[in-house]
Structure 1
Amino acid sequence: MINHTVLFKFKEEATQEQIQAMVDALQALGGKIDEIKEIQVKENFSERAKGFTIMLYSLFESKEALEAYQVHPAHVVVVTDHVKPILGDIMAIDIEF
């Protein structure tokens, strides 16, 4: 299994509505991309996150499934329309278990 985790930090001018639209669009990918076995997009509640406020946690069967997800048209649209316009910084980590 592959765990793909992404942390998002937003531009100061990003609105709560834009952030929520991004969260909703990312979460909805679970119903659109077969390679996703599980996806959760949640808001951080601790003060230790150094400005990263949203986390995406997702599971895939293989590295190939993760790669297919990353180039899937539905994912590309969400990144282009909802993530990039408000993104201040991003951190991603992928682990195999």
Structure 2
Amino acid sequence: MIKHIVFFKLKDRSAESVEATAVVLRNMEGKIPQLLSIEVGTDIIHSERSFDLALVTTVASLEDLQAYQVHPAHKEVIAHINEVKELSIAVDYEL
């Protein structure tokens, strides 16, 4: 099992903008067969060092992670994220 976690800091950090991007991320659920689980959270602290959104997904294998990365639904999300993000960081690890 692989856990894939990404944090996003948006250019527009308003509640409306953050929620709109959270919806885009959540819409991957059920569209990408490799995703065993998906969780999207929005920051509640709002400090200067905070990121606005967290995406936490689980896939069965490294091969499934690679398939997820190139899935058309994920590519649509990437296109949106590239327009709205200021910064993102990620980590992938085995469970």
| CA distance in structure 1 between the aligned counterparts of 2:62 and 2:48, rounded to whole angstroms | 27
Instruction: Give the structure 2 partner of residue 6 of structure 1.
Output: 6
User: Once the 2 structures are TM-superposed, how far is the Cα of residue 36 of structure 1 from its aligned partner?
Assistant: 0.1
Match of 2:83 in 1: 85
Structure 1 segments unaligned to the other structure (5+ residues):
none
Count how many residue pairs are aligned between Structure 1 and Structure 2: 95
**Superposition map of 1:1-97 within 5 A:** 1-11=1-11, 13=12, 15-46=14-45, 50-80=49-79, 82-97=80-95
Deviation at 1:50? Answer: 1.4
Q: C-alpha displacement at 1:20, in angstroms?
A: 1.8
Amino acid at match of 1:28: N
Q: How far off its partner does 1:79 sit?
A: 1.2
Runs of 4 or more above 3 Å deviation:
13-18, 46-49
Cα deviation for residue 78 of structure 1 reads 1.4
Residues 16-25 or 85-94, more deviating: 16-25
Q: CA RMSD in A?
A: 1.8
> Letter of the aligned partner of 1:84 in structure 2?
N
Unaligned residue ranges in structure 2 (runs of 5+):
none
